[in-house]
């Protein structure tokens, strides 16, 4: 009480008044941008992509940084403590159908995918990887702790750093995918907690779980990477991007009608922007499909219209800027509505330049074949693609059966990196650089043999099958229209995740379907059967022999007969046979 | 006087120097009979008989060093309920390190833009205290700003003071909803001390905390033992009703840090005892705590560490008695031996009064015993229980045993009959 007050006064008198704050208006060292992109897909579905980008002008590697504002403390401490240079984690449910929906802005494979570049100062990368996957599994409530050496690979060519990089020794990279992981509300809640405004203001109010998971494709991701602070690139800033892509189905969410609105998709509307965000925009893709006047009408009227070349095509976007005061003048909430002016013809569906498919061929439970088909639909340009396949050790690949056939002729890859599997320790890793000629289909097949596992290694439902993770295709696809280099800070977020090297091609990363493969399973009730059978045989056999050997026989007087004899006599009387 | 005496003393940890001055000396002000300095010394005025002087000296040692009650409080986790006063079990458990997190909660960013110079405040006010405490444990400090974080309790509007009040009995319910947002530190294992600064929403301003008697608390803050503290920082309403929102607020860090550091002292149990009125305590100054208070903390932590080690090793021994199947590896055994040796050396050093060495030994003992107890190899042989062995062997041996047992019984019966009537044999 009084003593404490006395102590404190003396304490602070000694400390001095202190200079307090240096300047009246502290310049902000971090910034938040949020963005929502609505793109109607050719099949009548609609895709919504949220991106939240926090950029922090601090150097997390220095170790002394520990005062957080917009950047979440959990991730900041993780990056600083474990020496992480880049971290990309994606949790996805469903599959992006590239053939029908077009190139995705950001695709992720089904299940959980984690790839991390570590700093060169990290000495034991495997130990740091294991700690990192365990800590992330706690932060995101996902079973990432199942990532171990049996599903981690070190790609050599596929996953180059997306941020600033000083040198790329690929031993600092780790990649793992868990295809069996399921995404649900438990994973969405901690993801939303990392946003500065939470889900209380801004675009994140639309993220309600009961509508988001009622969809054909749901993918949420976290990307952390270092970027240049400004054009001269003398200092490093850290960027955290949280993205969420969801595709609402035409039949189940849209009730068979092609008109969409924010309320129909999310059962919420936007009321304001996040007060901490420096930029908060909604983009709607209103590009005409075949150069005629627009088919799609948006209401209310957008604040501006933005044109850009995205993924090789010229696209037009209607922009709603939530920070502009005129937007909420007429009504308190913003409900963007998309209406089709005239019905769409199915012949207008454009085909993406690069898409792929993968399936398992063969029959029986002993051998099989993995076939991958890669389509290049560009009319005259050929380009190379890097294919990365990770196959678990229990499907024993025979690399001598690897064949790559394009247009009927064999196609030799210019770079192959193959790392064979070690049983129960390491999976197969196959990376190839394949040149795809214009307007062609390339078929890659490789045969495998299924292994028989030990009986404790089968999962609880062994006849469901075993998952093989998606293969990854990375390519620089030539674009039809030239793209000009735009400043990263000014362009919309959905164009700036992948660095573009020049204006004539754009980088795309595609994932194929995951495979479900049956392995031969033993009969799990056999131990019980063996015990019963052996014990019965032994008991009967042994018991009979023992009795024969040791029983003593002696003559017995015939007794008058008990109940059994009388019952037998009754039956004999009926039969007409003389009694006993 | 204290500063002048400082070079004369023996400043080893755990030592105490008392100077006795004559009754008529003018060094001590009127009415004050004992002066306790910032370092490890005290001045006592010789008033009355030798017995009174002895009693006063005993009081001085009790204040500056430890008492039976404070040792019992250090062992409070091990004493059964009912034998301790309700004030016990409030100090932080002894640990190798602590993490201190300062969080600013702003539930209404549309109305208030709050800025705090936490980095400067930590360097200026908190670092000297933590440097002094670095002998006790490793400390790490960080801070964060959380938006849209609300207290779980709706405050009551009070018409007389036209302010909102949080009554004392609703305070325990405040912490739980907020804690979900604070984020646990995943990258380290040390206990976390949270200090929260809450800026109330404009619709609930100004907000005061009421103590049990109904009067508003002067510092507008409260702390929860073993968790941390919360302070409410009220923003004055803008003078003109046309002020533009959001209001810019710059937090007065001196006032805030005053309260947080006082709470830190309370959490460590440093300001607990009541001193008699004729004592004068010198303030600790910039460093936040006096040397003898540091000794007090070290005594308590050493005793607690020794008690923890003995409890851990005893439970490990009891576990081995109950489940004989566990295999103890060699390194686990060597950790146990090391823990026992460290504890014994800590106890001998404590009895000799070498506080620093005893504390280091007790820390080593705790580390070794925890490493031995939580070693993952101890779990390996737990799941081979005896009833599974029965389940496998009984279906085989029981049918085989039945004829053998029956014939054995027949043999026994026949020999007994033969013995009873030997004359019947031909």
pLDDT one-digit tens code per residue, A224-246: 999 888 878 888 899 999 999 99
Protein fold of B97-268:
Collagenase (Catalytic Domain) (3.40.390)
In a domain, A466, yes or no: yes
In a domain, A154, yes or no: yes
Do A233 and A283 lie in one domain? The reply is yes
Residue A115's pLDDT band (boundaries 50, 70, 90)?
very high
Instruction: Determine the pLDDT at residue B83.
Output: 62
Last residue of a domain, one of A340, A373, A393: A340
pLDDT, mean over chain A: 85
Contact A276 B147 (CB under 8 A): yes
**Nearest Cα to Cα of residue B6 among B292, B294, B297:** B292
Q: How many CB pairs under 8 A join A and B?
A: 134
Which structural domain, as residue segments, surrounds residue A422?
354-485+498-517
Do A398 and A333 lie in one domain? The reply is no
Contact A10 B283 (CB under 8 A): yes
In a domain, A523, yes or no: no
Do A326 and A428 lie in one domain? The reply is no
* Integer Cα distance of A96 and A352 in angstroms: 13
Do A78 and A167 lie in one domain? The reply is yes
Interface test with A, best of B111, B147, B245 (most A CBs within 10 A): B147
ipTM surpasses 0.85: no
Instruction: Determine the pLDDT at residue B79.
Output: 65
Quick one: B46 exposed, middle or buried, by C-beta within 10 A (0-12, 13-18, 19+)?
middle
Residue labelled with tokens 């014994």: B344
Residue labelled with tokens 């208070």: B293
In a domain, A491, yes or no: no
A65 vs A161, more confident = A161
Do A335 and A358 lie in one domain? The reply is no
pLDDT, mean over chain B: 83
Q: Which residues contact A333 (CB under 8 A, 6 or more apart)?
A: A269, A270, A271
**Res. A426: pLDDT tops 90:** yes
Give the angle subtended at the CA of B288 by the CAs of B283 and B289, to the nearest 5°. 70
Domain boundaries, chain B: 97-268, 291-382, 384-425
Contact A11 B144 (CB under 8 A): no
Q: Say whether residue B272 is in contact with chain A using an 8 A CB cutoff.
A: no
**Res. B384: pLDDT tops 70:** no
Instruction: Determine the pLDDT at residue A546.
Output: 85
Q: How far is CA A325 from CA A33, A329, A337, A558, B164, in A?
A: 17, 7, 20, 116, 33
**Res. A18: pLDDT tops 60:** no
Contact B148 A200 (CB under 8 A): yes
Do A398 and A276 lie in one domain? The reply is no
Last residue of a domain, one of A340, A369, A398: A340
**Nearest Cα to Cα of residue A335 among A260, A277, A254, A278:** A260
Chain A residues closer than 8 Å to B142 by CB: 66-68, 73, 77
Contact A12 B253 (CB under 8 A): no
Residue A27's pLDDT band (boundaries 50, 70, 90)?
low
The CATH architecture assigned to B291-382 reads Up-down Bundle (1.20)
Residues 318-357 of A with CB under 8 A from B: none
| Domain CATH for A433 | 2.60.40.740
**Nearest Cα to Cα of residue A182 among A213, A204, A147:** A213
Other residues' Cβ atoms within 10 Å of the Cβ of residue B185 = 19
Contact A542 B143 (CB under 8 A): no
pTM reported for the whole predicted model: 0.85
Per-residue pLDDT of A329-385, as tens digits, reads 778 888 888 887 766 555 567 788 999 999 999 999 999 999 999 999 998 999 999
Chain B residues closer than 8 Å to A205 by CB: none
**The two three-digit tokens of residue A191, written as one number:** 């993801």
Per-residue pLDDT of B148-198, as tens digits, reads 988 888 888 888 888 888 888 888 888 888 888 887 777 778 899 999 999
Q: Which of B246, B271, B399 sits opposite A3 (nearest CB)?
A: B271
In a domain, A573, yes or no: no
Residue of A nearest to B400 (CA): A539
Residue of B nearest to A66 (CA): B142
- Nearest-Cα distance to chain A for B316, in Å, is 28
**Res. A3: pLDDT tops 50:** no
- Across the strands, what pairs with B144? B103
In contact, A320 and A248? CB cutoff 8 Å: no
Do A334 and A372 lie in one domain? The reply is no
Cα torsion angle, A225, A230, A232, A235, sign: negative
Q: Say whether residue A9 is in contact with chain B using an 8 A CB cutoff.
A: yes
Query: What is the separation, in whole angstroms, between the first and last Cα of chain B?
Result: 121
In a domain, A279, yes or no: yes
Last residue of a domain, one of A285, A317, A340: A340
Q: Tally the domains of chain A.
A: 2
Region A435-439 average pLDDT: 93
Do A228 and A116 lie in one domain? The reply is yes
Do A241 and A138 lie in one domain? The reply is yes
**Torsion angles phi and psi, residue A539, rounded to 5:** -65, -45
- Across the strands, what pairs with A368? A448
Q: What share of chain A is helix, strand, coil (3-state, %, to 5)?
A: 20, 35, 45
Residue of B nearest to A72 (CA): B144
């Amino acid at each position: 009480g009084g003593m404490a007050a006395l102590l404190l006064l003396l304490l602070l008198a000694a400390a001095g008044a202190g200079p307090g704050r240096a300047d009246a208006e502290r310049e902000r060292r971090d910034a938040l941008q949020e963005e929502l992109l609505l793109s109607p897909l050719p099949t009548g579905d609609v895709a919504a992509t949220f991106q939240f980008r926090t950029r922090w002008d601090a150097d997390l590697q220095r170790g002394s940084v520990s005062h957080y504002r917009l950047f979440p403390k959990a991730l900041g401490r993780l990056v600083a403590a474990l020496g992480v240079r880049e971290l990309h984690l994606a949790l996805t449910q469903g599959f992006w159908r590239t053939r029908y929906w077009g190139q995705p802005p950001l695709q992720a494979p089904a299940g959980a995918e984690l790839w991390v570049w570590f700093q060169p100062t990290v000495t034991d990368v495997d130990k740091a990887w294991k700690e990192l996957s365990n800590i992330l599994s706690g932060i995101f409530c996902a079973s990432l702790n199942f990532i171990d050496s049996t599903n981690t690979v070190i790609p050599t060519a596929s996953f180059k750093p997306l941020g600033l990089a000083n040198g790329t020794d690929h031993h600092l990279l780790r990649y793992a995918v868990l295809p069996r992981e399921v995404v649900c509300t438990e994973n969405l809640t901690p993801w939303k907690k990392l946003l500065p405004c939470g889900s209380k203001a801004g675009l994140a109010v639309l993220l309600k779980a009961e509508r988001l998971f009622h969809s054909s494709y749901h993918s949420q991701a976290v990307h952390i990477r270092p970027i240049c602070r400004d054009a001269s690139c003398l200092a490093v800033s850290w960027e955290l991007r949280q993205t969420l892509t969801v595709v609402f189905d035409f039949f189940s969410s849209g009730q068979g009608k092609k008109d969409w609105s924010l309320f129909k998709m999310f059962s919420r509307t936007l009321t304001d922007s996040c007060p901490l965000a420096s930029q908060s925009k909604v983009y709607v893709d209103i590009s005409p499909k075949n150069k005629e006047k627009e088919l799609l009408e948006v209401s209310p009227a957008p604040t501006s219209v933005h044109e850009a070349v995205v993924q090789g095509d010229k696209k037009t976007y209607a922009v709603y800027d939530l920070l502009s005061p005129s937007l909420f003048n007429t009504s308190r909430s913003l409900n963007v509505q998309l209406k089709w002016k005239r019905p769409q013809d199915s012949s207008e569906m454009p085909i993406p330049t690069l898409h792929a498919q993968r399936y398992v061929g063969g029959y029986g439970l002993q051998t099989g074949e993995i076939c991958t088909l890669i389509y290049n639909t560009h009319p005259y340009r050929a380009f190379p693609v890097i294919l990365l396949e990770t196959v678990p050790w229990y499907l024993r690949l025979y690399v001598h059966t690897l064949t790559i056939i394009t247009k009927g002729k064999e196609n030799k890859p210019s770079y192959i990196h193959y790392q064979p599997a070690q049983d129960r320790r390491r999976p197969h890793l196959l990376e190839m650089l394949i040149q795809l000629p214009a307007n062609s289909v390339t078929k890659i097949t490789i045969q495998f043999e299924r292994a028989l596992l030990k009986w404790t290694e089968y999962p609880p439902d062994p006849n469901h099958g075993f998952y093989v993770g998606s293969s990854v295709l990375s390519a620089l696809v030539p674009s039809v229209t030239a793209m000009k280099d735009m400043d990263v800070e000014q362009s919309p977020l959905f164009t700036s995740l992948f660095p573009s090297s020049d204006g004539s091609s754009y980088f795309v990363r595609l994932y194929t379907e995951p495979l479900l493969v049956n392995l031969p399973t033993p009969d799990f009730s056999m131990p019980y059967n063996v015990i019963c059978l052996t014990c019965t045989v032994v008991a009967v056999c042994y018991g009979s022999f023992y009795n024969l050997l040791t029983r003593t026989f002696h003559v017995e007087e015939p007794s008058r007969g008990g109940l059994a004899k009388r019952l037998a006599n009754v039956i004999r009387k009926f039969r007409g046979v003389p009694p006993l | 006087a204290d500063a002048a005496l400082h070079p004369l003393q023996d400043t080893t940890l755990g030592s105490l120097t008392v100077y006795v001055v004559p009754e008529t000396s003018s060094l001590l002000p009127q009415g004050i009979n004992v002066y306790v300095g910032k370092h490890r010394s005290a001045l006592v005025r010789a008033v009355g008989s030798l017995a009174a002087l002895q009693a006063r000296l005993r009081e001085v040692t009790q204040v500056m060093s430890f008492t039976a009650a404070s040792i019992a409080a250090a062992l409070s986790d091990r004493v059964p309920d009912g034998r301790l006063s309700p004030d016990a079990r409030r100090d932080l458990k002894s640990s190798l390190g602590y993490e201190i997190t300062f969080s600013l909660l702003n539930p209404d960013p549309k109305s208030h833009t709050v800025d705090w110079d936490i980095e400067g405040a930590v360097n200026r006010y908190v670092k000297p205290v933590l440097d002094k405490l670095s002998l006790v444990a490793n400390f790490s400090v960080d801070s964060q700003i959380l938006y849209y974080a609300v207290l779980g309790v709706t405050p009551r509007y009070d018409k007389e003071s036209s302010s909102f009040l949080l009554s004392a009995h609703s305070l325990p319910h405040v912490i739980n909803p907020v804690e979900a947002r604070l984020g646990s530190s995943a990258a380290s294992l040390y206990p976390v001390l949270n200090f929260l600064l809450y800026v109330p929403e404009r619709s609930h301003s100004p907000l005061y905390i009421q103590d049990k008697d109904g009067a508003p608390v002067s510092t507008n803050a409260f702390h929860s033992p073993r968790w941390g503290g919360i302070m409410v920082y009220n923003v004055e309403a803008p003078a003109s009703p046309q002020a533009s929102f959001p209001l810019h607020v710059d937090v007065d860090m001196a006032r805030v840090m005053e309260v947080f550091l006082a709470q830190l002292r309370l959490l460590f149990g440093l300001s607990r005892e009541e001193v008699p009125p004729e004592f004068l305590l010198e303030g600790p100054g910039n460093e936040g705590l006096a040397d003898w208070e540091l000794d007090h903390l070290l005594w308590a932590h050493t005793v607690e560490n020794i008690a923890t080690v003995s409890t851990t090793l005893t439970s490990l021994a009891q576990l081995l008695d109950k489940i004989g199947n566990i295999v103890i590896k060699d390194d686990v055994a060597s950790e146990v031996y090391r823990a026992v040796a460290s504890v014994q050396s800590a106890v001998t050093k404590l009895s000799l009064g070498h506080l620093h060495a005893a504390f280091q030994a007790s820390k080593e003992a705790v580390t070794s015993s925890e490493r031995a107890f939580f070693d993952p190899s101890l779990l390996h042989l737990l799941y081979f229980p005896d009833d599974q062995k029965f389940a496998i062997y009984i279906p085989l041996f029981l049918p085989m045993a039945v004829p053998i047992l029956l014939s054995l019984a027949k043999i026994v019966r026949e020999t007994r009959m033969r013995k009873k009537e030997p004359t019947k044999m031909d």
